[in-house]
């Protein structure tokens, strides 16, 4: 069995951790689980820890969301986007 790969994570300003697998959102951690994950990543193998947090290590699927599933609102690397002003056309 090979080591897990293709995982990445991003932290949010509210303390959330978003874990991605091959570019798709696989898990969101909040509050205490997010803090425990960040502490563990400092001392351990990040790919293995992310696979364990997602629960998909060795299962061969079930990761990521569908077209309307969780994480479809995130763009790029998950960085926050500024507010966009819209004007109503008159006439």
- Sequential pLDDT tens for the chain (91 residues): 577 888 999 998 888 999 999 989 999 999 999 999 989 988 888 888 888 888 855 444 443 444 444 444 444 444 455 556 667 777 6
Is 0.75 topped by the overall pTM?
A: no
pLDDT of residue 46: 86
Kindly give the pairing relationship between strand 7-11 and strand 17-21. Answer: antiparallel
């Amino acid at each position: 069995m090979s080591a897990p790969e293709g995982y990445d994570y991003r932290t949010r300003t509210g303390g959330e951790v978003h874990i991605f697998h091959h570019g798709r959102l696989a898990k969101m951690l909040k509050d205490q689980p997010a803090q425990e994950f960040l502490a563990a990543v400092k001392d351990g193998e990040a790919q293995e820890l992310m696979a364990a947090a997602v629960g998909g290590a060795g299962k061969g699927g079930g990761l990521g969301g569908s077209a309307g599933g969780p994480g479809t609102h995130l763009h790029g690397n998950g960085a926050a986007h500024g507010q966009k002003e819209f004007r109503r056309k008159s006439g």
